[in-house]
Amino acid sequence: MNIRVIPGGRPTELLPLTCTFEVEDIPVCGVTLGERLCRRFAAAINPQMLSIRPVLFPSDVLFNQIVETTTAAEIVAADGEVLGWLNQTENRPEATAQIVVDAASLVIKYPWDVLAAAEKIVGALKANDIRGEIREGVVIDGLVEIGEGTVLLPGVYIEGNAIIGKNVKLGPNCYLRGNTYLGDNCHVGQAVEVKNSMLMEKVAAGHLSYIGDSIVGPKTNFGAGTIISNFRHDGKNHRSMVNGELVDTGRRKFGAIIGAGVHTGIHTSIYPGRKIWAEMSTRPGDVVQKDLRPEN
């Protein structure tokens, strides 16, 4: 099937991820949103051209409906937003049938939707694929993919599924749980817990930290004792500031969205639902109570 990913630009709703990436280039578990769509549809047999926005993460049902449709059609979200189309050319068809996105599909509008996509990818593992080194004293209670050159040191405990990239140093004595992804060349060390999160390449969390229900951008370094809170005392859904308005994330557990190249000082505490823009830093003992961005 011929596929064209429609450029997504840098929408402000997806900040701080779009400080660094255009939408189609946001890496989710090591593969960009645009490339993931291309790979998924590449083997499908359909005479038409598929033009699709990178924000669509289709369910199996929607995927099958798209590849089985041999007439011109638009792919439309529940709110009426056009997310793509099928046609003989790249041109958007006029006055045509519609394929409505089902509830099981994911439309990525906000940063926490990227986290939901990562959860789906890691949670879908069917078998172990271990190419790295696992030292004595490691416990794995789930399914894992472990890349070449990666070393799991004694005391590592993995509970749930995990995808771990190449040349990662994990441990000693750290804890991964939930559906977690660690990108290439990451370091997660002594007494660090990572829960249901996505760490992009070259993230370092060497000592005494907690990262829960979060996305961490590439080349970010956590000072010792950096803690990300992910739960409200009242148990309600987290809200996050987007373009000056608080938006309900729909998540009871939600940590932080941290851009590329961030550095936290030792003993930094981050409130749940907060975002830190690329290249920002905190001082030792800072408490991040609101989004941390250049103009703050």
Active centre residues (catalytic): 207
* CB-count exposure of residue 1 (10 Å: 0-12, 13-18, 19+): middle
Give CA torsion, residues 211, 217, 219, 224, to 10 deg: -20
Please state, in angstroms and rounded to a whole number, the distance separating the CA atoms of residues 257 and 277.
8
Amino acid residing at 116 = A
Please state, in angstroms and rounded to a whole number, the distance separating the CA atoms of residues 289 and 278.
17
Backbone torsions φ then ψ of 82, nearest 5 degrees = -80, 120
Amino acid residing at 64 = N
Centre a 10 Å sphere on the Cβ of residue 145 and count the other Cβ atoms it contains: 21
Please state, in angstroms and rounded to a whole number, the distance separating the CA atoms of residues 176 and 122.
13
Give CA torsion, residues 7, 10, 16, 17, to 10 deg: 10
Q: Which residues of 159-187 are buried (b: 16+ CB within 10 A; e: fewer)?
A: ebbbbbbbbbbbbbebbbbbbbbbbbbbb
